[in-house]
Amino acid sequence: MNISVATYGSHSALQILKGAKDEGLRAVLLCPRSRRRLYERFRLADELILVENVEDLLREDVQRNLTSMSSILVPHGTIISDVDIKRFVKDFKVPIFGNRELLVWESDRELKEMLLREAGIEVPRAFSSPDEVDCPVIVKLPGAEGGRGYFVASGRDDLIKKLRKMGVRMNRGLYIQEYVIGVTVYPHFFYSPLREEVELLGVDRRYETNVDSLGRIPASDQLNLNVQPTYEVVGNIPLVLRESMLEKFFDIAERFVEATKKLVSPGMIGPFCIEAICRAPDDIVVFEFSARIVAGTNLFINGSPYSYLLYGEGMSMGRRIAKEIRLACETSELEKIVT
Amino acid sequence: MNISVATYGSHSALQILKGAKDEGLRAVLLCPRSRRRLYERFRLADELILVENVEDLLREDVQRNLTSMSSILVPHGTIISDVDIKRFVKDFKVPIFGNRELLVWESDRELKEMLLREAGIEVPRAFSSPDEVDCPVIVKLPGAEGGRGYFVASGRDDLIKKLRKMGVRMNRGLYIQEYVIGVTVYPHFFYSPLREEVELLGVDRRYETNVDSLGRIPASDQLNLNVQPTYEVVGNIPLVLRESMLEKFFDIAERFVEATKKLVSPGMIGPFCIEAICRAPDDIVVFEFSARIVAGTNLFINGSPYSYLLYGEGMSMGRRIAKEIRLACETSELEKIVT
Amino acid sequence: MNISVATYGSHSALQILKGAKDEGLRAVLLCPRSRRRLYERFRLADELILVENVEDLLREDVQRNLTSMSSILVPHGTIISDVDIKRFVKDFKVPIFGNRELLVWESDRELKEMLLREAGIEVPRAFSSPDEVDCPVIVKLPGAEGGRGYFVASGRDDLIKKLRKMGVRMNRGLYIQEYVIGVTVYPHFFYSPLREEVELLGVDRRYETNVDSLGRIPASDQLNLNVQPTYEVVGNIPLVLRESMLEKFFDIAERFVEATKKLVSPGMIGPFCIEAICRAPDDIVVFEFSARIVAGTNLFINGSPYSYLLYGEGMSMGRRIAKEIRLACETSELEKIVT
């Protein structure tokens, strides 16, 4: 069997392809026609399958093609956001690296919260009505998508005033969450079912427009400008964590893995991210998780301080995935890492 | 012919020297006397020519010296900012890596805008008088230099009020530009005339004083302090871009290269930077370009995530330049990359 | 003699252990029992000595154990903050890499300021009473610790008003310091007594909660929220400095080293950090120094742009320390680098 690694041309595809090649596996790119030029610049794909969009991965000929190349698909954020993920995990018959069921859980707010609760991880409080609010909140308006349609309110009265001003009468569809004041950190973990171990491979913070540009506008000008914050990810900035905080994050990561094993058999496989706000070094709130590779790992295509400690040079998350696939092939344990 | 790479001791000289050596070329440093100690610490220059300042590069003996070593000068930001660039490109007879005429265009606001317009790139709007203003603006006062002498106004009335308060009566010399709200990104490109291809080698954002310190001052204290923002570059912070934005940036970069070919023959050669503000991931405004190596590339002297995809380890912009020179020597195409 | 490198499990221990191994020395970890699991994940310690806390380093059996392994202890921030440092440097009989007396100076504000004054380095002004204040200030309340208990005031009146509001009647224990407006930079230096030379190995800025989250909150919301800034280090962000600023920083670093030689014989040995605020590229104020490895170096476990210029790949500060120890062993000059 001559396994190949396939992914869709977006999000973190470059490092997934590069990682596959560095581990001696064939790299297959499901490339949106409009991005052919982009991916050809990097000369990383051994095979290029042109498609129109993510939906096309469900096309029978595409799946047949992948199967004929013994491909394992590495899913990433675009696959989750751009298709009906429930249908995808049901109808996509090619093996997926990771637990496909978890992708559904990741994209459903209620399942997501259930998983974090099961793991005993502190999350921001949610409020079902503006009247209940007793702290600063961030509010997601109905239909908000991809970082737009949010606003901050300092408390109940401010929230009610702002909703009225926006002409929002009904509370239906509003998502009101505690606004935790603190810095964000996004540690990138990898759970190896072969080694039964959680690894930390990097940390970043997101670089979001326009919210990360506000700090450069003097407060007095901000008041005049009346800017509405948006949270659209444009890129990522590398971080390291205070070493004495690592333990706490590993603890959260392991409890998360345990919870997935309990609720979403066979549990976590491969990369995940615990998206957290630090009120203080020992006061960490998790507002989100990703149960697959995150784009912040693109910072470390040439290795991170943490991956260097574990693997020496050049171990990206993409390569770590390919390495797990290669090891599983060698020991005939592929069934442990694909679903 | 035994080509050497020369540069002036400032800006990005360390990586230019290191890159030359890593590609097997001799490294020549035109070193300001006052910085001799600094550059000697790094032991990168094979030859050190002591000068007083950039102006001295025009001295006949210096040029003779460079010529005797078959030097190619790699120009950078200090060379553009510290001499009369028009005179420099005319009187400096040693070959320059890149298109020397473009250095003139870079340092002339009108030529610069002409080039961006030709490329069909969206730029911030400019206003010839305060009365025309209908959006937030950033204003450059007459004589403003190196990041000082700017202020922000939220609109026409705020602008007029602020100008009056500052005692600015005349509008002559004012430069009034739309203040685009969004995060800044500085992708570092390299156009290879040998390969006829644009490469992305890294991305950064600038770290500017005092504007990047404002966000750490609580808004209420800022109002009391009444701080005037300054935009003086102190350093750089590494970034990666959202992978789905790369295409758009390559498109801008290629249109820029095409425009230079049309207006400033022989067009772009080597490193350049498209300095942009992202209102949203798909809404990018270019406020500036650099037609030579930028200091943000100093972040990636030991390689970047992007250069790793293309070249493996340790490919800095400085080394990429030296590599192009070496390749051009080997194929006798030096005339394609120097002017 | 078969020297080993020992450190305490916290702060920057991972890179100290990794560095020792990369230089061919044995790595000994004094590991707090509660963090055994964390450090075992990274498989870097050749020997693990379990302890309860830093205090335990003074236990006779622990010291005997270290002595039997010819250990040299590499001290870091946790050792300074978590024990009575005066007692520690007196009672800890195992050789310490660096000048143990300097650790005492680092942890005493008056000695610290004396050292910076001796070096002729500009520091923020301090005020002995609120009445003297004539500029923005940052105030440390009595008992403030680890980044909490600070506030900013825009001037004398604002300060007095805020103190009154907080119910602070007495000025005793208050530390009132000029609030310098500008960006922070933390360059990581290494002074080699063997080479008698200062090296720059990296630069970072800290990532502090909650102060680095304020900029993302719109000014109008900040005013409603009335957030008190805290300065607790959560992590670090990598930087490079503008190349024309390096000279100035080397100058400060060398004057600092000279001052330590004069006041705290035998002077600086190994890593130190000059913690600075840049009002402008040529206007640098030093608010703090560390006379040992700082946690910001964790960013560069796999090398930094600066260490790459000097040593090629993978030279972390931890490894640089081990390298100095190895070189000193080889040339029988250990007495130059330990105390």
Residue in B closest to A298 by C-alpha? B240
Superfamily of domain A126-178 in CATH is: ATP-grasp fold, A domain (3.30.1490.20)
Query: Which residues in chain A are closer than 8 Å to B245, comparing Cβ atoms?
Result: 234-235
- How far is residue B53 CA from its own chain's centroid? 20
Size of interface A-B (CB pairs under 8 A): 136
Nearest CA of chain A to the CA of B238: how many Å? Answer: 6
Is residue A286's pLDDT more than 80? yes
Q: Above 90 in pLDDT, residue B182?
A: yes
Contacts of C187 (CB under 8 A, 6+ apart): C200, C202, C203, C241, C249, C253, C273, C274, C276
In the prediction, which pLDDT does B145 show?
81
Angstrom distance (rounded) from CA C204 to CA C324:
23
User: Confidence band (pLDDT; 50, 70, 90) for B312?
Assistant: very high
Average pLDDT over residues B158-164: 94
DSSP C29-61: EEEEGGGHHHHHHHT--SEEEEESSGGGGGSHH
Mean pLDDT, to the nearest integer, of A85-104? Answer: 97
CA dihedral A63, A68, A69, A75 (to 10 degrees): 20
Asked if the C-beta of A298 comes within 8 angstroms of chain B's C-beta atoms, the answer is yes
Cα separation, B20 vs B317, whole angstroms? 11
Torsion sign (Cα): B214, B217, B222, B224: negative
- Given its phi and psi angles, is residue C149 left (phi above 0), alpha (psi -120 to 50 degrees) or beta? left
- The string of pLDDT tens digits covering residues B10-46 is 999 999 999 999 999 999 999 999 999 999 999 999 9
Q: CB-based contacts of A70: which residues, under 8 Å, 6+ apart?
A: A1, A2, A3, A4
Residues of B124-163 as b/e, b for ≥16 C-beta within 10 angstroms? beebeebeebebbbbbbbeebeebeebbbbbebebbeebb
Type and span of the H or E element at C86: helix C85-91
Query: By 3-state DSSP, what share of chain A in percent is helix, strand and coil, each rounded to 5?
Result: 40, 30, 30
Provide the mean pLDDT of chain A: 96
Q: Give the model's pLDDT for residue C172.
A: 78
Cβ-defined contact of B218 to C241 (cutoff 8 Å): no
Token look-up 């540009």 returns A213
Which alpha helices (DSSP H) does chain A contain, by range? Answer: 13-22, 36-42, 60-68, 77-82, 85-91, 100-106, 109-118, 156-166, 219-225, 246-263, 305-311, 317-330
Distances (CA, A) of A123 to A137, A179, A252, C28: 13, 11, 12, 38
Q: What is the ipTM of this complex?
A: 0.97
Architecture category of domain A4-96 in CATH? 3-Layer(aba) Sandwich (3.40)
Element (H, E) at C238: strand C231-241
- Give the distance, in angstroms, between the CA of residue C86 and the centroid of all CA atoms in the same chain: 17
Output the pLDDT for position C1.
56
Q: Specify the range with the lowest mean pLDDT, choosing from A1-5, A186-190, A276-280, B109-113.
A: A1-5
Query: C89, C144, C122, C102: which is closest to C257 by C-alpha?
Result: C102
- Across the interface, of B183, B223, B239, the residue whose CB is closest to A210 is B183
The mean per-residue pLDDT over the stretch B180-191 comes to: 98
Beta-carbon contacts below 8 Å between B and C: 135
Number of neighbours of residue B175 by Cβ within 10 angstroms: 16
Q: For the purposes of burial, counting CB atoms within 10 Å of the CB of B24, is it exposed (0-12), middle (13-18) or buried (19 or more)?
A: exposed
Answer whether C218 sits within 8 Å of A215, measured CB to CB: no
- pLDDT at position C133 is 96
Q: Which CATH number fits domain C4-97: 3.40.50.20, 3.40.190.80, 3.40.50.10150, 3.30.420.40?
A: 3.40.50.20
List the domain boundaries for chain C: 4-97, 109-122+182-336, 126-178
In 3D, which of A218, A183, A51, C333 has the Cα closest to residue B224? A218
List the single range of A25-29, A102-106, B147-151, C186-190 with lowest mean pLDDT: B147-151
B215–C216 CB contact, under 8 Å = yes
SS (H, E, C) B72-113: EECCCHHHHHHCCHHHHHHHCCCCEECCHHHHHHHCCHHHHH
B118: pLDDT confidence band, cut at 50, 70 and 90? very high
pLDDT, position A146:
82
A4's enclosing H/E stretch is strand A4-8
- What pLDDT, on the 0 to 100 scale, is given for residue A334? 97
Residue B146 has what pLDDT? 82
DSSP C173: T
CB neighbours of C234 closer than 8 A, spacing ≥ 6? A183, A185, A241, A242, A245, A278, A281, C207, C208, C209
State the Cα–Cα distance between residues B78 and C245, nearest whole angstrom: 13
Left if phi > 0, otherwise alpha if psi is -120 to 50, otherwise beta: which for A41? alpha
Could you say which of B226, B277, B303 has the minimum Cβ distance to residue A302?
B303
A218 and B250 within 8 Å at the Cβ level: the answer is no
Interface test with A, best of C152, C216, C236, C298 (most A CBs within 10 A): C216
Interchain pair B309, A236: CB under 8 A: no
pLDDT tens digit at each of 339 positions of chain C: 589 999 999 999 999 999 999 999 999 999 999 999 999 999 999 999 999 999 999 999 999 999 999 999 999 999 999 999 999 999 999 999 999 999 999 999 999 999 999 999 999 999 999 999 999 999 999 888 888 999 999 999 999 999 999 888 777 789 999 999 999 999 999 999 999 999 999 999 999 999 999 999 999 999 999 899 999 999 999 999 999 999 999 999 999 999 999 999 999 999 999 999 999 999 999 999 999 999 999 999 999 999 999 999 999 999 999 999 999 999 999 999 999
Q: How far apart are alpha carbons B224 and B194 in whole angstroms?
A: 57
**Percentage of chain A exceeding pLDDT 90:** 94
Tokens representing residue A311 in the block: 């693997």
Contact between A236 and B237 using a beta-carbon 8 Å cutoff: no
Q: With H, G, I as helix, E, B as strand and everything else as coil, classify residue B62.
A: helix
Indicate the residue type of C288.
E
Please identify among residues 227-256 of chain A the ones whose CB lies closer than 8 Å to any CB of chain C: 227-229, 237-247, 250
Taking the CA of residue A155 and the nearest CA in chain C, the distance in Å comes to: 8
The reported pLDDT for the residue numbered B311 is 97
Give which of A279, A277, A273 is closest to A291, Cα–Cα. A273
Least CB–CB distance from A219: residue in B212, B219, B246: B219
- The minimal CB distance from C250 to the residues B38, B227, B313 is found for B38
Stretch A93-106: mean pLDDT: 97
Burial of C125 (0-12, 13-18, 19+ CB in 10 A): middle
pLDDT tens-digit series, residues C89-131: 999 999 999 999 999 999 999 999 999 999 999 999 999 999 9
Q: How far is CA C265 from CA C101, C258, C268, in A?
A: 8, 10, 8
Q: Is C121 left (phi over 0), alpha (psi -120 to 50) or beta?
A: beta
Distance CA C137, CA C89 (A): 34
CA distance C228 to chain A (A): 10
Neighbours of C336 (CB within 10 A): 16
Residue C189 has what pLDDT? 98
SS3 B282: coil
**Cis? peptide before B298, omega within 30° of 0:** no
Output B21 or B144, whichever has higher pLDDT: B21
DSSP-assigned letter for residue B325: H
Helix H or strand E segment including A175:
strand A175-178
**Short-list A108, A96, A125, A115, CA closest to A30:** A96
Query: What is the rounded distance in angstroms from the CA atom of residue C163 to the CA atom of residue C172?
Result: 12
CB distance B219–C215 less than 8 Å?
no
How far is C136 from C124, CA to CA, in rounded Å?
Answer: 11
- What is the pLDDT at residue A37? 97
Task: Determine the residue type at A131.
Answer: D
Strand arrangement, sheet containing B148-153: B126-127, B175-178, B137-145, B148-153
pLDDT tops 80 at residue B8:
yes
pLDDT at B1: 56
Residues near B63 by beta carbon (within 8 Å), at least 6 away in sequence: B57, B92, B93, B94
Identify the residue whose tokens are 């009247």.
A131
Q: Do B218 and C227 touch (CB under 8 A)?
A: yes
Q: Comparing C-alpha atoms, which of A278, A287, B235 is closest to residue C147?
A: A278
Backbone angles phi, psi at A122, to 5 degrees: -70, 130
The single-letter DSSP state of residue C97 is: B
Angle between helices A246-263 and A109-118 (to 10 degrees): 110
User: Could you tell me which CATH class the domain C109-122+182-336 is placed in?
Assistant: alpha beta
Chain C neighbors of B217, CB-CB under 8 A: 152, 181, 214
Whether pLDDT at B167 is above 90: no
